[in-house]
């Protein structure tokens, strides 16, 4: 994308004016497709993208429309931006640009700073620029607080913005909004697939539906009576741990598939096996096809059952937790899980294959989302300097 003209720099105060915001809490809000939208800082930080198309979408709105009466002169318009002035980390200062408001009324709510441009910007440009590293690096040194981080209007006044010609702003906004639309579409597909998986798991493990050709009663068994072994991982050998290698070393975390490193020549468990998280977000089972080494707090189940079926069966259980502080699942507790098994291994294999295929589809969509998000991140870094 070539620039039409050189980029212009302006002080924040010459480009924007501040609008009045309210302090209504979550207790005053509800989801609505027609109500008066109230932009809450928590939604900016967690739910909204850089640009928010209001329209008739279900958005957080005021329960009582009369609460907006005191803010009639500060209704937001297309192109306005709302900044979250508080966060538990350096996400403070994240903002959302509004568009497609139409006949709906929109207010800026708790812990927000609302701004309106004094000059014309291309649709979407502000939302992406004000969230870019190029702009946020001006905010970071001015953030205050430790447990709760905040940014003030005075801090914003000390920043400056850069912008290309209006036509280039429009092109930048359109391109990045298209990427956001692609990401949103993939996430909708992902959520639908996850919902379908959840429904199928519930129906299959209560025998409301079965594969054609299978009959007979399922039997409830304790895991310890069906497993070859149930063990907990050991300590990491830091001297042998590599960033890449042949045999993964798997920890209790869910990120990066639990892999924290590799050993080149040794392993503790011969795959396939099923690992189960024992601390934090406990009871999450996952099949490990190859040989690996588990780390402390990660539990490992070896059995003659189909591993993908066993993964599903364990994930259907509510963990019996130990510890009054951090949730913990131990070998004895996991061993006493009561699981339902079909009468034949072939039915296990059919069930396991189905959910393995669904998991593969979920992984593929997640990977696609990651690639689009990386592309967007790269463009943001290259476009805004």
- Burial-class residue 35 by CB neighbours within 10 Å (0-12, 13-18, 19+): buried
Res 147: pLDDT: 86
DSSP 138-169: HHGGG-B-SSSEE--HHHHHT-EEEE--HHHH
Distances (CA, A) of 217 to 126, 316, 351: 62, 18, 15
Separation of alpha carbons 337 and 241, rounded Å: 33
Res 323: pLDDT: 54
Separation of alpha carbons 300 and 294, rounded Å: 8
Residue 185: strand, helix, or coil: helix
CATH 3.60.20.10 fits 219-341, yes or no: no
Question: Which CATH number does the domain 8-163 belong to among 1.10.10.10, 3.90.220.20, 3.50.50.60, 3.90.550.10?
Answer: 3.90.220.20
The helix (H) or strand (E) run that includes residue 314 is: helix 307-315
DSSP 101-132: -TT--EEE-TTEEEEEESS---TTHHHHHTTS
Separation of alpha carbons 384 and 240, rounded Å: 42
Q: Return the number of other C-beta atoms located less than 10 Å from residue 359's C-beta.
A: 17
Residue 7: strand, helix, or coil: coil
Res 321: pLDDT: 58
Res 319: pLDDT: 64
pLDDT of 145-195, one tens digit each?
888 999 999 999 999 999 999 999 999 999 999 999 999 999 999 999 999
Q: Where are the beta strands (DSSP E) in 252-383?
A: 259-263, 273-277, 285-288, 293-294, 298-303, 338-341
| 8 Å CB contact between 289 and 271 | yes
One fold for both 8-163 and 219-341?
A: yes
Separation of alpha carbons 297 and 231, rounded Å: 10
In the chain, what are the domain boundaries? 8-163, 219-341
Q: List per-block mean pLDDT (blocks of 10 residues) for the chain, which spans 385 residues.
A: 71 96 95 96 95 94 94 92 94 96 95 96 96 94 90 96 95 95 96 96 94 94 95 93 95 91 95 94 94 95 96 85 72 94 96 97 96 93 84
Alpha-carbon torsion, ordered 373, 375, 376, 377, to 10 deg: 90
Side-chain-facing half-sphere of 289: CA atoms under 13 Å: 2
Q: What is the CA radius of gyration of the chain?
A: 26
């Amino acid at each position: 994308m070539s620039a039409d003209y050189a980029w212009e720099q302006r002080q924040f105060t010459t480009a924007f004016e501040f609008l009045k915001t309210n302090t209504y809490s979550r207790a005053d809000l509800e989801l609505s497709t027609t109500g008066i939208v109230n932009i809450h800082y928590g939604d900016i930080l967690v739910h909204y993208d850089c640009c928010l198309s209001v329209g008739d979408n279900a958005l957080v709105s005021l329960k009582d429309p009369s609460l907006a009466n005191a803010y009639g002169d500060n209704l937001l318009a297309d192109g306005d931006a709302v900044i979250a002035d508080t966060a538990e980390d350096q996400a403070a200062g994240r903002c959302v640009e509004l568009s497609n408001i139409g006949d709906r009324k929109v207010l800026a709510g708790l812990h927000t700073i609302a701004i309106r441009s004094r000059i014309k910007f291309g649709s979407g440009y502000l939302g992406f620029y004000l969230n870019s590293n190029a702009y946020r690096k001006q905010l970071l040194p001015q953030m205050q607080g430790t447990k709760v981080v905040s940014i003030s209007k005075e801090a914003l006044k000390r920043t400056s913005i850069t912008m290309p010609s209006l036509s280039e702003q429009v092109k930048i906004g359109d391109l990045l909004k298209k990427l956001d639309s692609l990401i949103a579409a993939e996430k909708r597909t992902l959520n639908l697939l996850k919902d379908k998986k959840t429904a199928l798991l519930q129906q299959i493990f209560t025998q409301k539906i079965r594969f054609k050709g299978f009959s007979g009663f399922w039997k409830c068994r304790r895991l310890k009576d069906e497993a070859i072994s149930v063990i907990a991982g050991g300590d990491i050998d830091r001297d042998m741990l590599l960033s890449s290698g042949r045999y993964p070393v798997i920890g209790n975390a869910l990120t990066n598939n639990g892999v924290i490193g590799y050993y080149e020549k040794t392993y503790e468990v011969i795959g396939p096996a099923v690992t189960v998280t024992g601390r934090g977000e406990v009871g999450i089972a996952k099949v490990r096809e190859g040989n690996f080494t588990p780390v402390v707090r990660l539990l490992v189940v070896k059995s003659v059952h189909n591993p993908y079926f066993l993964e599903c069966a364990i994930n259907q259980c509510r963990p019996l937790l130990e510890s009054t502080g951090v949730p913990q699942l131990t070998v004895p507790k996991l061993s006493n899980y009561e699981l339902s098994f079909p009468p034949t291994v072939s039915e296990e294999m059919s069930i396991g294959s189905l959910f393995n295929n669904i998991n593969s589809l979920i992984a593929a969509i997640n990977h696609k989302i990651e690639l689009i998000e990386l592309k967007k991140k790269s463009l943001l870094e290259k476009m805004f300097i």
